[in-house]
């Protein structure tokens, strides 16, 4: 009974807070992106990450929140296929976009003399082909779900329970040996790139820290460049992502080895799958003061508008 009450509080709260947080981040960056003559590529990546997180909440968080209130069979067969398919695609996009964010941020803060500096994207248009590639890649890798997902409203007896509102039917060994290696290869490549870029950023930030200490000892004033502050925020995001990703992997392995149907384990996996999407926007809001800057800018615009009307 206590576990049921916890479910009814946690999943709806995560869905509402996470969706609002990601919408706030995406709207803030959209306004900054469109209102600025310089279209920063990093802003486009963050908008895409927030959009991906919103899809994740709509496809995994919202159905889970509905399910916790005892509503069953609320999806038909087509709806079930769409929801589960988009949820899998969104998880893959979250990994790919986070990896791209780390790599681009590492290139941005690299020294001018470095060879990596030449790879710095000149405009947001250079990022669009990567985002399009991510959608195609994850869409193709998840294509098997369209055939293997069945709604619980269907009378299917041979199934493996993936979600309480959808059944995941057994696939042929040939499909498994195609899809599984592709998913492992994708995760390994993008996490490898993420890890390498994060290590490089840590090295550069350490050098910057030593430089700041030297200037402080020399009684000289020095301000941290905005690129380095952004790099610190990106590193926090990556730590958040890796924590939820590997904890999810560990619990998934434990769950697959366990023969018992453990409701607590299933709910823990659901929580971990939504964890990064929930906390990542608030990391950006806290670190960069996004909402404070956004509302300050809006109030400043209103003040100027009122002043202009009053003068007229």
What is the Cα–Cα distance from 163 to 123, expressed in whole angstroms?
A: 41
For the chain, which residues score pLDDT lower than 50?
A: 155-163, 309-311
Predicted pLDDT of residue 63: 83
- Please, what are the domains in the chain? 2-284 (1.20.1070.10)
Give Cα 294 to chain centroid, integer Å. 22
CB 134 within 8 A of CB 96: yes
Q: What are the structure tokens assigned to 278, written together? A: 């929930």
Q: What is the rounded radius of gyration, in angstroms, for the C-alpha atoms of the chain?
A: 22
Mind listing the pLDDT tens digit for each residue in 246-305? Answer: 998 888 888 777 766 667 777 788 888 899 999 988 888 776 655 555 555 555 655 665
Predicted pLDDT of residue 177: 79
> Which residue shows structure tokens 């007229």?
312
Predicted pLDDT of residue 157: 45
Q: Where are the alpha helices (DSSP H) in 57-163?
A: 62-68, 77-108, 128-141, 145-148
Predicted pLDDT of residue 163: 46
Predicted pLDDT of residue 154: 54
Residues in the chain: 312
Predicted pLDDT of residue 94: 94
Predicted pLDDT of residue 159: 44
pTM of the model: 0.82
């Amino acid at each position: 009974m206590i576990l049921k009450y916890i479910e009814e509080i946690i999943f709806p709260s995560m869905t509402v807070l996470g969706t609002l947080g990601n919408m706030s981040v995406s709207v803030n960056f959209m306004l900054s992106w469109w209102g600025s003559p310089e279209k920063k590529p990093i802003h486009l990546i963050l908008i895409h990450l927030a959009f991906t997180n919103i899809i994740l909440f709509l496809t995994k968080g919202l159905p889970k929140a509905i399910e916790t209130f005892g509503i069953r069979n609320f999806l038909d067969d087509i709806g079930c296929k769409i929801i589960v398919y988009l949820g899998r695609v969104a998880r893959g996009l979250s990994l790919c976009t986070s990896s791209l964010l780390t790599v681009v941020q590492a290139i941005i803060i690299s020294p001018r003399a470095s060879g990596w500096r030449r790879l710095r994207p000149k405009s947001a248009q250079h990022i669009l082909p990567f985002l399009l590639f991510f959608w195609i890649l994850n869409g193709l890798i998840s294509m098997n779900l369209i055939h293997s997902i069945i709604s619980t409203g269907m009378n299917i007896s041979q199934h493996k329970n993936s979600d309480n509102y959808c059944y995941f039917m057994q696939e042929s060994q040939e499909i498994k040996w195609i899809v599984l290696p592709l998913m492992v290869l994708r995760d390994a490549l993008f996490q490898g790139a993420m890890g390498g870029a994060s290590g490089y950023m840590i090295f550069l930030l350490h050098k910057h820290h030593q430089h700041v200490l030297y200037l402080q000892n020399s009684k000289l004033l020095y301000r941290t460049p905005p690129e380095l502050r952004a790099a610190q925020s990106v590193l926090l995001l990556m730590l958040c992502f890796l924590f939820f990703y590997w904890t999810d992997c560990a619990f998934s392995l434990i769950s697959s080895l366990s023969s018992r149907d453990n409701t607590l384990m299933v709910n823990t996996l659901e929580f971990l799958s939504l964890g990064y999407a929930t906390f990542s926007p608030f990391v950006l809001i806290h670190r960069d003061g996004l909402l404070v800057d956004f509302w300050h800018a809006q109030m400043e615009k209103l003040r100027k508008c009122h002043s202009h009307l009053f003068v007229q």
